[in-house]
Amino acid sequence: MPDSIHVRGGTPLTGEIAVLGAKNAVLKHMVATLLAPGTHRIENVPGILDVEIMGRVLEHVGASCRQDGTVLTVDVPDDPVPEAPLELVRQMRASILVLGALLARTGEARVALPGGDDFGSRPIDFHVRGLEAMGAEFDLRHGVLYGTAPRGLHGTDVFLEFPSVGATENLLLAAVLADGTTTISNAAREPELTDLAEYLMKMGAKIDGAGTSTLEIHGVPELRPAVHRTVPDRLEAGTYLVAGAMSRGRVTVTDCRPEHLRMELRKLEATGCAITTTETSITVEGPERPVAVDIATLPYPGFHTDMHPQIVSYLSVADGTSLVTENVYAGRFRYLGELNRMGCDIHADGQHVVIRGVDELSGCEIEGCDIRAAAALTIAGLRADGETIIRDAHHVDRGYDGFVGKLASLGADITRA
Protein backbone atom coordinates (compact mmCIF):
# COMPACT_ATOMS: atom_id res chain seq x y z
CA MET A 1 0.00 0.00 0.00
CA PRO A 2 1.48 3.43 -0.98
CA ASP A 3 2.47 5.34 2.12
CA SER A 4 1.19 8.88 1.51
CA ILE A 5 -2.20 10.52 1.40
CA HIS A 6 -2.50 13.43 -1.03
CA VAL A 7 -5.42 15.76 -0.40
CA ARG A 8 -6.44 19.04 -2.02
CA GLY A 9 -8.64 21.21 0.13
CA GLY A 10 -11.67 23.28 -0.69
CA THR A 11 -14.40 20.79 -1.61
CA PRO A 12 -17.32 20.58 0.82
CA LEU A 13 -17.95 16.89 1.56
CA THR A 14 -21.47 15.71 0.81
CA GLY A 15 -23.20 12.37 0.99
CA GLU A 16 -23.53 9.30 3.14
CA ILE A 17 -21.13 6.68 4.43
CA ALA A 18 -21.56 3.65 6.66
CA VAL A 19 -19.23 2.76 9.51
CA LEU A 20 -18.17 -0.75 10.52
CA GLY A 21 -17.55 -2.39 13.88
CA ALA A 22 -15.29 -0.74 16.45
CA LYS A 23 -11.58 -1.57 16.26
CA ASN A 24 -11.34 -1.29 20.04
CA ALA A 25 -14.12 -3.85 20.48
CA VAL A 26 -13.14 -6.36 17.76
CA LEU A 27 -9.58 -6.66 19.08
CA LYS A 28 -10.93 -7.64 22.50
CA HIS A 29 -13.47 -10.07 21.04
CA MET A 30 -10.60 -11.76 19.26
CA VAL A 31 -8.77 -12.19 22.57
CA ALA A 32 -11.96 -13.43 24.24
CA THR A 33 -12.20 -16.30 21.75
CA LEU A 34 -9.16 -17.82 23.48
CA LEU A 35 -11.37 -18.53 26.49
CA ALA A 36 -13.28 -21.31 24.71
CA PRO A 37 -12.06 -23.97 22.25
CA GLY A 38 -14.04 -24.28 19.02
CA THR A 39 -15.22 -22.01 16.21
CA HIS A 40 -16.22 -18.40 16.94
CA ARG A 41 -17.84 -15.98 14.48
CA ILE A 42 -17.42 -12.22 14.85
CA GLU A 43 -19.43 -9.99 12.50
CA ASN A 44 -19.16 -6.35 11.36
CA VAL A 45 -15.35 -6.57 11.46
CA PRO A 46 -13.42 -3.81 9.65
CA GLY A 47 -10.57 -4.64 7.27
CA ILE A 48 -7.84 -2.90 9.26
CA LEU A 49 -4.22 -3.60 10.10
CA ASP A 50 -4.78 -4.01 13.85
CA VAL A 51 -7.21 -6.88 13.21
CA GLU A 52 -4.52 -8.51 11.05
CA ILE A 53 -1.92 -8.06 13.80
CA MET A 54 -4.24 -9.49 16.45
CA GLY A 55 -4.88 -12.37 14.03
CA ARG A 56 -1.12 -13.03 14.04
CA VAL A 57 -1.12 -12.99 17.86
CA LEU A 58 -3.92 -15.56 17.90
CA GLU A 59 -2.12 -17.66 15.30
CA HIS A 60 1.01 -17.61 17.46
CA VAL A 61 -1.15 -18.95 20.27
CA GLY A 62 -2.31 -21.78 17.99
CA ALA A 63 -5.67 -20.45 16.80
CA SER A 64 -6.52 -19.87 13.13
CA CYS A 65 -8.32 -16.77 11.84
CA ARG A 66 -10.10 -16.22 8.55
CA GLN A 67 -11.64 -12.91 7.50
CA ASP A 68 -14.21 -13.10 4.74
CA GLY A 69 -15.55 -9.58 4.08
CA THR A 70 -16.75 -8.36 7.46
CA VAL A 71 -17.00 -11.81 9.04
CA LEU A 72 -14.10 -13.12 11.08
CA THR A 73 -13.98 -16.79 12.00
CA VAL A 74 -11.60 -17.91 14.72
CA ASP A 75 -10.84 -21.57 15.45
CA VAL A 76 -9.41 -21.95 18.93
CA PRO A 77 -7.49 -25.09 19.89
CA ASP A 78 -7.88 -27.17 23.06
CA ASP A 79 -4.35 -26.35 24.21
CA PRO A 80 -3.28 -22.78 23.30
CA VAL A 81 0.39 -21.75 23.49
CA PRO A 82 0.36 -19.14 26.30
CA GLU A 83 2.65 -16.59 24.69
CA ALA A 84 2.63 -13.21 22.92
CA PRO A 85 6.07 -12.35 21.45
CA LEU A 86 7.71 -8.93 21.35
CA GLU A 87 7.55 -8.50 17.58
CA LEU A 88 3.72 -8.51 17.80
CA VAL A 89 3.28 -6.65 21.12
CA ARG A 90 5.58 -3.94 19.76
CA GLN A 91 3.36 -3.49 16.72
CA MET A 92 0.19 -3.29 18.80
CA ARG A 93 -0.11 -2.74 22.55
CA ALA A 94 -3.55 -4.34 22.69
CA SER A 95 -1.69 -7.69 22.43
CA ILE A 96 -1.14 -7.51 26.20
CA LEU A 97 -4.82 -8.31 26.67
CA VAL A 98 -4.00 -11.97 26.11
CA LEU A 99 -2.46 -11.90 29.60
CA GLY A 100 -5.75 -12.27 31.49
CA ALA A 101 -7.32 -14.64 28.97
CA LEU A 102 -4.32 -17.00 28.82
CA LEU A 103 -3.84 -17.04 32.59
CA ALA A 104 -7.51 -17.92 33.02
CA ARG A 105 -7.49 -20.57 30.33
CA THR A 106 -4.07 -22.21 30.81
CA GLY A 107 -2.75 -21.00 34.19
CA GLU A 108 0.23 -19.31 32.55
CA ALA A 109 1.14 -16.50 30.15
CA ARG A 110 4.36 -15.12 28.71
CA VAL A 111 3.85 -11.66 27.27
CA ALA A 112 6.55 -9.24 26.11
CA LEU A 113 6.17 -5.88 27.85
CA PRO A 114 5.21 -3.02 25.55
CA GLY A 115 7.39 0.05 25.80
CA GLY A 116 6.23 3.66 25.73
CA ASP A 117 4.75 5.33 22.71
CA ASP A 118 3.83 8.76 21.47
CA PHE A 119 1.18 9.24 24.12
CA GLY A 120 3.57 8.81 27.07
CA SER A 121 4.73 5.76 28.99
CA ARG A 122 1.38 3.85 29.14
CA PRO A 123 2.24 1.39 31.93
CA ILE A 124 0.28 -1.81 32.69
CA ASP A 125 0.59 -1.72 36.49
CA PHE A 126 -3.21 -1.78 37.04
CA HIS A 127 -3.49 -4.94 34.92
CA VAL A 128 -0.71 -6.67 36.84
CA ARG A 129 -1.86 -5.63 40.32
CA GLY A 130 -5.44 -6.71 39.64
CA LEU A 131 -4.36 -10.11 38.31
CA GLU A 132 -2.05 -10.55 41.33
CA ALA A 133 -5.01 -9.92 43.62
CA MET A 134 -6.75 -12.79 41.77
CA GLY A 135 -3.88 -15.18 42.55
CA ALA A 136 -1.49 -14.66 39.62
CA GLU A 137 2.25 -14.34 40.19
CA PHE A 138 4.52 -12.36 37.86
CA ASP A 139 8.19 -12.28 37.12
CA LEU A 140 9.76 -9.83 34.65
CA ARG A 141 12.83 -11.29 32.92
CA HIS A 142 14.61 -9.88 29.87
CA GLY A 143 11.60 -7.74 28.91
CA VAL A 144 9.12 -10.60 29.13
CA LEU A 145 6.44 -10.81 31.78
CA TYR A 146 6.07 -14.42 32.98
CA GLY A 147 2.71 -14.96 34.65
CA THR A 148 1.51 -18.09 36.42
CA ALA A 149 -1.51 -18.94 38.49
CA PRO A 150 -0.19 -21.90 40.51
CA ARG A 151 -3.43 -22.34 42.44
CA GLY A 152 -5.72 -21.01 39.69
CA LEU A 153 -7.37 -17.58 39.63
CA HIS A 154 -9.91 -16.69 42.27
CA GLY A 155 -12.51 -13.95 42.61
CA THR A 156 -11.62 -10.83 44.59
CA ASP A 157 -12.42 -7.11 44.92
CA VAL A 158 -10.36 -4.83 42.69
CA PHE A 159 -10.57 -1.05 42.92
CA LEU A 160 -8.94 0.62 39.91
CA GLU A 161 -7.05 3.88 40.47
CA PHE A 162 -8.28 5.10 37.08
CA PRO A 163 -11.04 3.58 34.91
CA SER A 164 -8.49 2.07 32.52
CA VAL A 165 -10.11 0.41 29.53
CA GLY A 166 -7.36 -2.20 29.09
CA ALA A 167 -7.05 -3.05 32.79
CA THR A 168 -10.83 -3.48 33.13
CA GLU A 169 -10.81 -5.75 30.05
CA ASN A 170 -7.84 -7.84 31.17
CA LEU A 171 -9.44 -8.41 34.57
CA LEU A 172 -12.83 -9.16 33.02
CA LEU A 173 -11.27 -11.72 30.66
CA ALA A 174 -9.54 -13.37 33.62
CA ALA A 175 -12.50 -13.22 35.98
CA VAL A 176 -15.06 -14.96 33.76
CA LEU A 177 -13.25 -18.30 34.31
CA ALA A 178 -11.96 -17.61 37.85
CA ASP A 179 -13.21 -19.40 40.93
CA GLY A 180 -15.83 -17.22 42.68
CA THR A 181 -16.94 -13.62 42.27
CA THR A 182 -14.73 -10.71 41.17
CA THR A 183 -15.87 -7.14 41.68
CA ILE A 184 -14.17 -4.40 39.65
CA SER A 185 -14.88 -0.93 41.07
CA ASN A 186 -14.12 2.26 39.14
CA ALA A 187 -14.33 0.11 36.00
CA ALA A 188 -14.23 1.69 32.54
CA ARG A 189 -17.71 2.19 31.00
CA GLU A 190 -16.74 2.45 27.33
CA PRO A 191 -19.36 1.02 24.91
CA GLU A 192 -16.66 -1.29 23.47
CA LEU A 193 -16.19 -2.80 26.93
CA THR A 194 -19.93 -3.27 27.33
CA ASP A 195 -19.87 -5.00 23.95
CA LEU A 196 -17.11 -7.31 25.16
CA ALA A 197 -19.19 -8.16 28.24
CA GLU A 198 -22.16 -8.92 25.96
CA TYR A 199 -20.02 -11.22 23.83
CA LEU A 200 -18.69 -12.99 26.92
CA MET A 201 -22.24 -13.45 28.22
CA LYS A 202 -23.18 -15.11 24.92
CA MET A 203 -20.25 -17.45 25.59
CA GLY A 204 -21.82 -18.34 28.94
CA ALA A 205 -20.13 -15.83 31.27
CA LYS A 206 -22.06 -14.37 34.21
CA ILE A 207 -21.52 -10.60 34.41
CA ASP A 208 -23.58 -7.96 36.24
CA GLY A 209 -23.22 -4.22 35.80
CA ALA A 210 -21.86 -4.03 32.23
CA GLY A 211 -21.81 -0.35 31.22
CA THR A 212 -21.59 0.84 34.86
CA SER A 213 -18.53 1.56 36.96
CA THR A 214 -18.98 -1.59 39.07
CA LEU A 215 -18.66 -4.94 37.34
CA GLU A 216 -19.54 -8.10 39.22
CA ILE A 217 -18.30 -11.25 37.53
CA HIS A 218 -19.32 -14.69 38.75
CA GLY A 219 -16.75 -17.16 37.44
CA VAL A 220 -17.95 -20.24 35.55
CA PRO A 221 -15.94 -23.45 34.92
CA GLU A 222 -16.05 -23.17 31.13
CA LEU A 223 -17.31 -21.10 28.21
CA ARG A 224 -18.47 -22.01 24.71
CA PRO A 225 -17.92 -20.36 21.30
CA ALA A 226 -20.42 -17.70 20.24
CA VAL A 227 -21.55 -15.56 17.33
CA HIS A 228 -21.45 -11.79 17.86
CA ARG A 229 -21.95 -8.61 15.85
CA THR A 230 -19.52 -5.89 16.92
CA VAL A 231 -20.78 -2.52 18.14
CA PRO A 232 -20.32 0.30 15.56
CA ASP A 233 -17.10 2.31 15.69
CA ARG A 234 -17.93 5.65 17.32
CA LEU A 235 -14.43 6.92 16.51
CA GLU A 236 -14.75 6.13 12.82
CA ALA A 237 -18.17 7.86 12.83
CA GLY A 238 -16.84 10.84 14.78
CA THR A 239 -13.86 11.26 12.47
CA TYR A 240 -16.05 11.50 9.32
CA LEU A 241 -18.41 13.92 11.07
CA VAL A 242 -15.52 16.24 11.94
CA ALA A 243 -14.22 15.88 8.36
CA GLY A 244 -17.66 16.92 7.05
CA ALA A 245 -17.80 19.90 9.42
CA MET A 246 -14.24 21.00 8.59
CA SER A 247 -14.99 20.99 4.86
CA ARG A 248 -18.17 23.10 5.39
CA GLY A 249 -20.07 20.13 3.99
CA ARG A 250 -23.10 18.00 4.85
CA VAL A 251 -22.29 14.39 5.76
CA THR A 252 -24.48 11.58 7.02
CA VAL A 253 -22.87 8.67 8.83
CA THR A 254 -25.03 5.55 8.97
CA ASP A 255 -24.92 2.23 10.84
CA CYS A 256 -23.74 4.00 13.99
CA ARG A 257 -25.05 4.63 17.52
CA PRO A 258 -25.52 8.39 18.16
CA GLU A 259 -25.90 7.78 21.92
CA HIS A 260 -22.24 6.71 22.02
CA LEU A 261 -21.12 10.14 20.78
CA ARG A 262 -23.22 12.38 23.00
CA MET A 263 -20.44 14.60 24.30
CA GLU A 264 -18.68 14.82 20.93
CA LEU A 265 -21.94 15.84 19.17
CA ARG A 266 -22.70 18.39 21.88
CA LYS A 267 -19.29 20.01 21.33
CA LEU A 268 -19.70 20.00 17.55
CA GLU A 269 -23.06 21.73 17.98
CA ALA A 270 -21.41 24.33 20.21
CA THR A 271 -19.04 25.17 17.34
CA GLY A 272 -22.03 25.95 15.13
CA CYS A 273 -22.63 22.60 13.39
CA ALA A 274 -26.22 21.60 12.68
CA ILE A 275 -26.65 18.00 13.85
CA THR A 276 -29.59 15.68 13.31
CA THR A 277 -29.79 12.06 14.39
CA THR A 278 -31.94 9.00 13.89
CA GLU A 279 -31.52 5.82 15.93
CA THR A 280 -28.66 4.67 13.68
CA SER A 281 -27.42 7.72 11.79
CA ILE A 282 -25.98 11.17 12.35
CA THR A 283 -25.98 14.08 9.90
CA VAL A 284 -23.67 17.05 10.36
CA GLU A 285 -23.72 20.31 8.47
CA GLY A 286 -20.59 22.36 9.04
CA PRO A 287 -20.63 26.12 9.72
CA GLU A 288 -18.84 28.61 7.48
CA ARG A 289 -16.38 29.04 10.34
CA PRO A 290 -16.48 27.17 13.68
CA VAL A 291 -16.98 29.02 16.96
CA ALA A 292 -14.15 28.35 19.46
CA VAL A 293 -15.03 25.91 22.30
CA ASP A 294 -13.25 24.43 25.32
CA ILE A 295 -13.07 20.65 25.65
CA ALA A 296 -11.66 18.26 28.26
CA THR A 297 -11.00 14.63 27.32
CA LEU A 298 -12.27 12.15 29.89
CA PRO A 299 -13.18 8.46 30.16
CA TYR A 300 -16.61 7.59 28.69
CA PRO A 301 -19.12 9.23 28.65
CA GLY A 302 -16.73 12.20 28.52
CA PHE A 303 -15.17 13.53 25.34
CA HIS A 304 -13.03 10.72 23.87
CA THR A 305 -9.27 11.21 23.86
CA ASP A 306 -9.19 9.46 20.47
CA MET A 307 -11.24 12.36 19.04
CA HIS A 308 -8.81 14.94 20.47
CA PRO A 309 -6.48 15.35 17.43
CA GLN A 310 -9.42 15.53 15.00
CA ILE A 311 -11.25 18.21 17.01
CA VAL A 312 -8.03 20.23 17.51
CA SER A 313 -7.53 20.15 13.75
CA TYR A 314 -11.07 21.45 13.24
CA LEU A 315 -10.77 24.15 15.92
CA SER A 316 -7.57 25.41 14.28
CA VAL A 317 -9.74 27.49 11.94
CA ALA A 318 -12.26 28.60 14.60
CA ASP A 319 -13.19 32.17 15.28
CA GLY A 320 -11.48 32.68 18.64
CA THR A 321 -9.25 30.69 20.99
CA SER A 322 -10.13 27.16 22.14
CA LEU A 323 -8.63 25.15 24.98
CA VAL A 324 -8.47 21.36 24.76
CA THR A 325 -7.34 19.66 27.98
CA GLU A 326 -5.98 16.13 27.63
CA ASN A 327 -6.79 14.17 30.79
CA VAL A 328 -6.31 10.57 29.65
CA TYR A 329 -2.75 10.56 28.29
CA ALA A 330 0.37 12.28 29.57
CA GLY A 331 1.02 13.57 26.07
CA ARG A 332 -0.35 13.13 22.59
CA PHE A 333 0.91 16.34 21.13
CA ARG A 334 3.49 15.43 18.49
CA TYR A 335 1.01 16.11 15.67
CA LEU A 336 0.67 19.76 16.80
CA GLY A 337 3.99 20.64 15.16
CA GLU A 338 2.69 19.16 11.90
CA LEU A 339 -0.51 21.26 12.09
CA ASN A 340 1.55 24.38 12.76
CA ARG A 341 3.49 23.71 9.54
CA MET A 342 0.12 24.18 7.80
CA GLY A 343 -0.27 27.62 9.33
CA CYS A 344 -2.09 26.73 12.56
CA ASP A 345 -1.38 28.64 15.75
CA ILE A 346 -1.42 25.94 18.43
CA HIS A 347 0.75 25.22 21.44
CA ALA A 348 0.67 22.75 24.30
CA ASP A 349 1.12 23.96 27.86
CA GLY A 350 1.25 20.94 30.17
CA GLN A 351 -1.98 19.02 29.56
CA HIS A 352 -3.58 21.97 27.79
CA VAL A 353 -3.66 22.65 24.07
CA VAL A 354 -4.24 26.31 23.27
CA ILE A 355 -5.64 26.77 19.77
CA ARG A 356 -5.78 30.29 18.38
CA GLY A 357 -8.03 30.08 15.36
CA VAL A 358 -6.53 31.18 12.05
CA ASP A 359 -8.33 32.30 8.88
CA GLU A 360 -6.82 29.72 6.57
CA LEU A 361 -4.50 26.74 6.31
CA SER A 362 -1.98 26.07 3.60
CA GLY A 363 -1.17 22.59 2.37
CA CYS A 364 2.32 21.15 2.80
CA GLU A 365 4.10 17.86 3.48
CA ILE A 366 3.54 16.50 6.98
CA GLU A 367 4.04 13.29 8.96
CA GLY A 368 1.19 10.98 10.05
CA CYS A 369 2.45 10.28 13.64
CA ASP A 370 -0.31 7.84 14.81
CA ILE A 371 -3.80 6.61 13.87
CA ARG A 372 -5.83 9.56 15.09
CA ALA A 373 -3.16 12.15 14.27
CA ALA A 374 -2.98 10.94 10.65
CA ALA A 375 -6.78 11.25 10.42
CA ALA A 376 -6.65 14.72 12.00
CA LEU A 377 -3.99 15.93 9.56
CA THR A 378 -6.05 14.67 6.63
CA ILE A 379 -9.00 16.62 8.05
CA ALA A 380 -6.84 19.76 8.08
CA GLY A 381 -5.89 19.05 4.47
CA LEU A 382 -9.57 19.06 3.48
CA ARG A 383 -9.72 22.78 4.20
CA ALA A 384 -6.20 23.83 3.32
CA ASP A 385 -5.20 25.82 0.30
CA GLY A 386 -3.34 23.63 -2.22
CA GLU A 387 -2.06 20.10 -1.69
CA THR A 388 -1.35 18.45 1.67
CA ILE A 389 0.77 15.30 1.64
CA ILE A 390 0.53 13.11 4.73
CA ARG A 391 3.55 10.79 4.96
CA ASP A 392 3.50 7.57 7.02
CA ALA A 393 -0.13 7.16 6.04
CA HIS A 394 0.01 3.50 7.11
CA HIS A 395 -1.05 4.70 10.56
CA VAL A 396 -4.63 5.23 9.32
CA ASP A 397 -4.75 1.64 8.05
CA ARG A 398 -4.46 0.45 11.66
CA GLY A 399 -7.86 1.87 12.55
CA TYR A 400 -9.85 2.94 9.47
CA ASP A 401 -11.20 0.60 6.79
CA GLY A 402 -10.96 2.33 3.40
CA PHE A 403 -10.26 5.80 4.84
CA VAL A 404 -9.23 7.48 1.58
CA GLY A 405 -11.95 5.72 -0.46
CA LYS A 406 -14.68 6.77 1.95
CA LEU A 407 -13.56 10.42 1.90
CA ALA A 408 -13.32 10.29 -1.91
CA SER A 409 -16.87 8.92 -2.06
CA LEU A 410 -17.98 12.08 -0.21
CA GLY A 411 -16.35 14.20 -2.90
CA ALA A 412 -12.92 14.86 -1.36
CA ASP A 413 -10.06 15.40 -3.80
CA ILE A 414 -7.91 12.73 -2.18
CA THR A 415 -5.68 9.85 -3.29
CA ARG A 416 -3.26 7.33 -1.83
CA ALA A 417 0.06 7.60 -3.64
Taking the least distance from each CB to ligand EPU, the nearer of 27 and 284 is: 27
Min dist CB 27 to ligand EPU, Å, is 5
Tell me the number of residues near ligand EPU by CB under 6 A. Answer: 22
Using CB under 6 A, pick the residue from 26, 104, 124, 242 that binds ligand EPU: 124
d(CA 416, CA 390): 10
- Beta strands across the sheet bearing 137-141: 83-84, 108-112, 144-148, 137-141
* Contact call for residues 231 and 42 (beta carbons, < 8 A): no
117 flagged as catalytic: yes
Using CB under 6 A, pick the residue from 40, 105, 110, 127 that binds ligand EPU: 127
Exposed / middle / buried, residue 79 (Cβ in 10 Å: 0-12, 13-18, 19+):
exposed
* Contact call for residues 282 and 268 (beta carbons, < 8 A): no
Nearest in space to 371 (alpha carbons), one of 255, 235, 256: 235
Nearest in space to 82 (alpha carbons), one of 57, 122, 109: 109
Q: Is residue 372 involved in binding ligand EPU (CB under 6 A)?
A: yes
123 three-class SS: coil
Min dist CB 410 to ligand EPU, Å, is 22
Q: Under 8 Å CB-to-CB from 349, ≥6 apart: which residues?
A: none
- Contacts (CB under 6 A) with ligand EPU, residues 204-243: none
Taking the least distance from each CB to ligand EPU, the nearer of 65 and 167 is: 167
Taking the least distance from each CB to ligand EPU, the nearer of 80 and 163 is: 163
* Contact call for residues 28 and 4 (beta carbons, < 8 A): no
d(CA 181, CA 219): 6
d(CA 300, CA 138): 30
Report how far apart, in Å, the C-alpha atoms of 285 and of each of 46, 247, 314, 368 are.
Answer: 26, 9, 14, 27
Q: Is residue 126 involved in binding ligand EPU (CB under 6 A)?
A: yes
Q: Is residue 306 involved in binding ligand EPU (CB under 6 A)?
A: yes
Using CB under 6 A, pick the residue from 173, 231, 315, 328 that binds ligand EPU: 328
* Contact call for residues 80 and 105 (beta carbons, < 8 A): yes
Angle at which helices 308-315 and 371-381 pack, to 10 degrees? 20
Tell me the per-residue interface mask from 390 to 409 with ligand EPU, x by CB under 6 A, - otherwise: ---------x----------
- Contacts (CB under 6 A) with ligand EPU, residues 152-191: 162, 164-167
Q: Is residue 335 involved in binding ligand EPU (CB under 6 A)?
A: no
Using CB under 6 A, pick the residue from 122, 391, 394, 416 that binds ligand EPU: 122
* Contact call for residues 229 and 216 (beta carbons, < 8 A): no
Taking the least distance from each CB to ligand EPU, the nearer of 384 and 390 is: 390
Query: Which residue in the shown chain puts its C-beta closest to ligand EPU?
Result: 166
Taking the least distance from each CB to ligand EPU, the nearer of 231 and 318 is: 231
State the catalytic residue, choosing from 3, 50, 79, 117.
Answer: 117
Min dist CB 119 to ligand EPU, Å, is 7
Q: Is residue 379 involved in binding ligand EPU (CB under 6 A)?
A: no
Give start and end residues of each alpha helix (H) in 62-124. Answer: 86-91, 98-106
Taking the least distance from each CB to ligand EPU, the nearer of 35 and 94 is: 94
Q: Which stretch binds ligand EPU (CB under 6 A): 123-131, 220-228, 247-255, 338-346?
A: 123-131
Min dist CB 373 to ligand EPU, Å, is 9
Nearest in space to 31 (alpha carbons), one of 213, 313, 309, 223: 223
Tell me the per-residue interface mask from 15 to 34 with ligand EPU, x by CB under 6 A, - otherwise: --------xx--x-------
Min dist CB 202 to ligand EPU, Å, is 20
Q: Which residues contact ligand EPU (rule: CB under 6 A)?
A: 23-24, 27, 94, 122-127, 162, 164-167, 305-306, 328-329, 371-372, 399
Catalytic residue list: 117
